Structure 1
């Protein structure tokens, strides 16, 4: 399952940027129309197929069913927060994007309270949604740095290989982009360790290579120029040849942004 895309690339790099209002109520969007008849058993069995390659109405229908379900297995799983994240990432309306993200946070919190504390994916999607929800509010972003760190660390401890090393990938980017002590938790060495390990363990994910290249560039500068370009080339090849669904377009933009930063010609 390939998750946390756009915003996987975009969440943490910009979590401290901008300034705007938040919609913390997580108000659900209107009920989708034309949804197929779902059951808890059917949704549970098919949940791994719901991801970047799913059409938006399919995700909306699954989320709408889950909102009204009292099935304990679904309620303590990461599915609700994952659906919210995908829908938030795809939404061009900032207000609606924040609402989906906050709903994802609340669904993950509810899953933890109902027995999901040992599920690394729940911690992972809680942090991913939280990062997206606060990314346009500097004050909220700074106030949540330690919570983001704690949730990603829990995900790394419980499920380090989930989403092709996603917990290490996003925790590494949090350390790379956050302000350094005493203002924040930023730590370039920790970022390099985590992102290097993600590349080593999961070389098939393009963002592992891209984020490691970014860390090499930001921490060590031009002395790592050769390795930076090698990692970018490896990640780009995976992105071009793989099936990444709705994630592909925003991830290409992330590559383009780093190319511009290091002065490499655009593709």
Structure 2
């Protein structure tokens, strides 16, 4: 799916601590509870920009557990509307641009050919978010741009290996303490079959993990660690495999 990796861009809150095994059901239940709380806060003071973008974030998180496209699109449109409300009165709000791009991504996942125009809008929103606050969400604008360029088709859309590498590297440089950034770089270079570069970034990731496991703790990080640990294990296994002979497909 065109923007499938956007699923990993934000952390989801769950009931259990990061030290216990958790099920997708518990993640979904916590995301649903957070969505209802954020919606109530947003509706109580609709002119509060912080409540609005936090509701948009909750819409994105909740949409990750949608069981059908109709539900996903409904949640995405709510998040999009909340962000547009902010931007109508406060165009320089980086969080609003960022979560507008994220929820547009959820909406794009419900489309087929109709997703391509949405991808262009996502790119514009992430670029604007970067302009106003490149550090937001652990260098989130660069991370999202990198993943967008990585996943999008090169023909007829914005896909670009050069741009993907540029923005993923910028994210890792700006927020090296955030495991997702070096993990994305590792996965990208594995996809490009540049094992040496992937191994370099994987070692950088391994070096920062002890501090990250100490600093990024609690319920709010549980789903992120569940996702990261799975992907770290997969990348490690790929890097253990012997290199393929030249010309091997």
1:134–1:141 contact (8 Å) kept in structure 2: yes
Counterpart-to-counterpart distance in 1, 2:237 and 2:107: 27
| Structure 2 gap segments, 5+ residues each | 16-29, 243-249
Would you say 1:11 and 2:26 are equivalent positions?
Answer: no
2:6–2:147 contact (8 Å) kept in structure 1: no
User: How many correspondences in the alignment?
Assistant: 218
Would you say 1:254 and 2:249 are equivalent positions?
Answer: no
Counterpart-to-counterpart distance in 2, 1:70 and 1:117: 19
1:85 equivalent among 60, 65, 70? 60
Query: If the length of structure 2 is used for normalisation, what is the TM-score?
Result: 0.74
Query: If the length of structure 1 is used for normalisation, what is the TM-score?
Result: 0.69
Counterpart-to-counterpart distance in 1, 2:165 and 2:112: 25
Counterpart-to-counterpart distance in 2, 1:184 and 1:263: 34
Would you say 1:60 and 2:31 are equivalent positions?
Answer: no
- Match in the other structure for 1:222: 195
Deviation at 1:251, TM superposition (A): 3.1
Counterpart-to-counterpart distance in 2, 1:198 and 1:75: 24
Would you say 1:245 and 2:240 are equivalent positions?
Answer: no
| Structure 1 gap segments, 5+ residues each | 1-7, 14-49
- Match in the other structure for 2:103: 129
1:76–1:110 contact (8 Å) kept in structure 2: no
1:144 is paired with a residue whose SS is: helix
Deviation at 1:264, TM superposition (A): 5.6
Would you say 1:101 and 2:79 are equivalent positions?
Answer: no
Query: Aligned Cα RMSD in Å?
Result: 3.1
Going from structure 1 to structure 2, the CA distance change for 1:9 and 1:142 (only over 3 Å counts) comes to: closer
